Amino acid sequence: MNQRGQIVVEYVLLLVIAVGLAALLVSQLVNRDPDNPGVLVSKWHKILMVIGDDVPDKRAGGTR
């Protein structure tokens, strides 16, 4: 019976560690602070800026 309790305790500890690491990872990737944005937020902002700067009438080979 003691072995069963130890397995439950180990499982709960591993679960707490996994959830803590996931929360830390998500907070660093998706931080919306303007001074220190997360990796995903800053990349998404760069993508939006590139799309916004695109001019439809402009061609890569020049205009005709």
User: In this model, does residue 49 exceed pLDDT 80?
Assistant: yes
For 2-47, the pLDDT digits (tens) are: 778 899 999 999 999 999 999 999 988 888 888 888 889 899 999 9
pLDDT of the residue at 34: 82
Q: Name the residue with higher pLDDT: 14 or 51.
A: 14
What's the CA gap between 14 and 50, in Å, rounded?
42
What's the CA gap between 63 and 57, in Å, rounded?
8
Mean pLDDT to the nearest integer, 36-63: 82
Chain mean position to CA 2: 41
Chain mean position to CA 61: 37
Question: Is the pTM for the entire model greater than 0.75?
Answer: no
Is the distance from CB of 42 to CB of 31 less than 8 angstroms? no
pLDDT of the residue at 33: 85
